[in-house]
Amino acid sequence: MTNAEPPLDGAALLAELAEDRPPPAGPWSQGGAAVVAGLIGVAGLIASARLGLGQLTAPGPGLWPFVISVVITTLAVVLALTGRHGVDTEKFSRSSVTVAIAVATLVLLALALPVIGFEIPSLLLTFVWLRFLGKESWRSSIVISLGTVVAFYLLFVLVLKIPVPRLI
């Protein structure tokens, strides 16, 4: 029995869970977030003004998006002024490269899908994710990726008879 141990409280637990994530990024990324939001707002303002605002008695197609864009732009300004010291952004770290590689494999799959069917791209994607992104062993990577594709083939092609583009 370990009664001497302090009770677990919210702050300690959240801190512990946060340790698994990259550290917060600084004021630059907060500023960047505000700028991007502001640009979207301004673009929305211009585009919806072009659509025609109409009048309150007869709203044009641009009125509603215009109002939303005004709100976005205003809030972006507030964010730029007040949010500089927020800690809710995350640094891009070495593990962010993993995400970039992952996205690249997804795009390749989408490109290859209509050309050579789903089997080979799926097999390669699963294998790359397991072996290189997930650091699984060679053996389990090969076994699991083969198993996954076979299961998908059985499910999509033989059981559900869904028209997926396929090799054979």
Partner 1 sequence: MDFLNPVLDGFGVVAQPDNLLYCLAGVVIGMLIGVLPGLGPAATIAILLPITYGVEPVSAIIMLAGIFYGAQYGGTITSVLLRLPGEASSVVTVFDGFALAKQGKAGTALGIAAIGSFIGGTVSIIGLTLLAPLVASVALDFGPPEYAALALFGVLLVATVGNGGRLKSVIAACLGLLLATVGRDTFTGADRFTFANLDLADGIDFVPIAMGLFGLGEILYNLEERQHKRQEPAKISTVWPSRQDLRQSRGAFGRGSVIGFVLGVLPGGGATLSSLVAYAVEKRRAKDPERFGRGAIEGVAAPETANNAAATSSFIPLLTLGIPANATMALMFGALLIQGIPPGPQLVSDHPDLFWGVVNSMYLGNILLLIMSIPMVGVFVKILRIRPAILAPITVLITLLGVYTVANRVFDVFLVIVFGVLGYLMKKFGFEPGPLVLAFVLGSVMEIAVRQSLLIFGGDVTGFFTRPISGTVLAVLIVVLALPLVRQLRKSRQKSPQDKELV
Angle at 76 between CA 75 and CA 81, to 5 degrees: 95
DSSP state of 70: H
Q: Does 45 bind partner 1 (CB under 8 A)?
A: no
Rounded CA gap, 41 and 30, in Å?
Answer: 17
Footprint of partner 1 on 67-86 (CB under 8 A):
68-69, 71-72, 75-76, 78-79, 82-83, 86
Q: Binding partner 1 by CB under 8 A: which of 1, 158, 159, 168?
A: 1
Q: Name which of 82 and 154 has its Cβ closer to partner 1.
A: 82
Q: How far is the CB of 31 from partner 1 (least distance, A)?
A: 11
Q: How far is the CB of 126 from partner 1 (least distance, A)?
A: 4
Structure tokens at 115: 């050309």
Q: How far is the CB of 114 from partner 1 (least distance, A)?
A: 5
The separation between CA 45 and the C-alpha centre of its own chain, rounded to angstroms, equals 26
Q: Does 31 bind partner 1 (CB under 8 A)?
A: no
Is residue 66 helix, strand or coil? helix
Footprint of partner 1 on 145-164 (CB under 8 A):
145, 148, 152, 156, 162-164
Q: Does 59 bind partner 1 (CB under 8 A)?
A: yes
The neighbour count for residue 157, using CB atoms within 10 Å, is 16
Q: Binding partner 1 by CB under 8 A: which of 117, 136, 142, 157?
A: 136
Those residues whose C-beta lies under 8 Å from the C-beta of residue 108, and which sit 6 or more positions away, are 121, 125
Q: Binding partner 1 by CB under 8 A: which of 88, 116, 138, 146?
A: 88
Q: How far is the CB of 37 from partner 1 (least distance, A)?
A: 5
The dihedrals phi and psi of 3, each to the nearest 5 degrees, come to -80, -20
Q: Which of 78, 84, 76 is nearest to 44 (CA)?
A: 76
